[in-house]
Amino acid sequence: MSMIANLQYGWTLFVNPIHHEQGWSRAAIQVAFTVFVFTETWLIPIEGWFVDRYGPRIVVMFGGALVAVAWLVDAFASSLSVLYAGAVIAGVGAGAVYGTCVGNALKWFPDRRGLAAGATAAGFGAGAALTVIPIAETIENFGYHVAFFAFGLGQGLVIMLLSWFLRAPVKGAVAPPSPHRRKVAQTRIDYLPAQVLRQPMFWLMYLIFVLVASGGLMAAAQIGPIAGDYGIAEVPLSIAGLVLPALTLAISLDRILDGFGRPFFAGSPTPSAARTRCASRLA
């Protein structure tokens, strides 16, 4: 998960360098980000079907190969159409890794689904924190082509290597819930996809998710160009004795807090679960 984070959260570091070297408008460059997000998200149900049929290992390995290819394409892109093609490849690869890892975590921890999903997604949320500075320095000293090439190849190889350790739980591999923990029924009906689409609650949650994600993604994609326009990208800031350019520090802090928030809120007990724990302690 950490190895695909830069495809989304590190993209903003490349926008201005591409704009200055290629002369393309920033709006046209950012279309690539839109294409990436579209293919990353909307194809996950299809990729999930492949996971159910062939297992998580092969799907994540395939995603890792696409991650490497995508940034290699971006490194040598000499036209917007090629840049957009790289975005399509990156989106498919990131979706294959993201959807598979979250779904597999839920299978391994069925009685801690919120915490499992949040902790796994934290790798994606905070994954770019450690590489923001290296990518920014590589772009500054060697150009964005080298950054795309080196980090794309490295991230893809790490994903492909780690995919060998992934497996779905076989029957009996997952322990039943603890007898001291009340099992919360999530639904009395095992809905089919067509039935889910007819539920108002599904569309309410979908709308909330789109609204929250849209705001976050716009900020993540545009923070680099905005900081450059206001002339504050390179302003040195100090925190805990560490001096960094304002843009680099802002992206790093954003990623760290994003990663921390996902397991924290996902793993928080529901009111009913909290009351059950209190009652059991009093008893």
Residue 236 lies in a domain: yes
pLDDT of residue 177: 58
Residue 132 domain flag:
yes
> 135 with 6: CB under 8 angstroms?
yes
Q: Is position 276 within any domain?
A: yes
Please enumerate in sequence order all residues whose Cβ is within 8 A of that of 195, keeping only pairs 6 or more positions apart, or say none: 189
Residue 51 lies in a domain: yes
What's the pLDDT at 185?
A: 56
Q: Is residue 12 part of a domain?
A: yes
3 state SS of 242? strand
Tens of pLDDT, residue by residue, the chain (283 residues): 889 989 998 999 999 999 999 999 999 999 999 999 999 998 888 988 899 899 999 999 999 999 999 999 999 999 999 999 999 999 999 999 999 998 888 888 877 778 888 888 888 877 788 888 899 999 999 999 999 999 999 999 999 999 999 888 877 667 665 555 555 555 667 788 788 889 899 999 989 988 988 888 888 888 888 888 888 888 888 777 777 788 888 888 777 777 777 777 665 554 444 443 433 333 3
DSSP labels, 143-182: -HHHHHHHHHHHHHHHHHHHGGG--PPPTT-SPPPPTTSP
Structural domain count of the chain: 1
Euclidean distance between the first and the last CA atom of the chain, given in angstroms as a whole number: 42
Q: Structural domain of residue 211, as residue ranges?
A: 2-169+196-282
What is the Cα–Cα distance from 256 to 267, expressed in whole angstroms? 17
Q: Are 67 and 151 in contact (CB under 8 A)?
A: no
Residue 17 has a pLDDT of 95
Burial letters 224-242, b for 16+ CB under 10 A, else e: bbebbeeeebeeeeeeeee
Give dist(CA 267, CA 258) in Å, integer. Answer: 14
pLDDT at 216: 82
Q: Is 139 in contact with 283 (CB distance < 8 Å)?
A: no
* pLDDT at residue 97, as a whole number: 94
Does residue 180 lie in a domain region? no
User: Does residue 163 lie in a domain region?
Assistant: yes
pTM above 0.85, yes or no: no
Residue 211: give its domain's CATH number: 1.20.1250.20
- For residue 13, is it within any domain? yes
Comparing CA positions, the residue from 106, 123, 100, 102 lying closest to residue 3 is 123
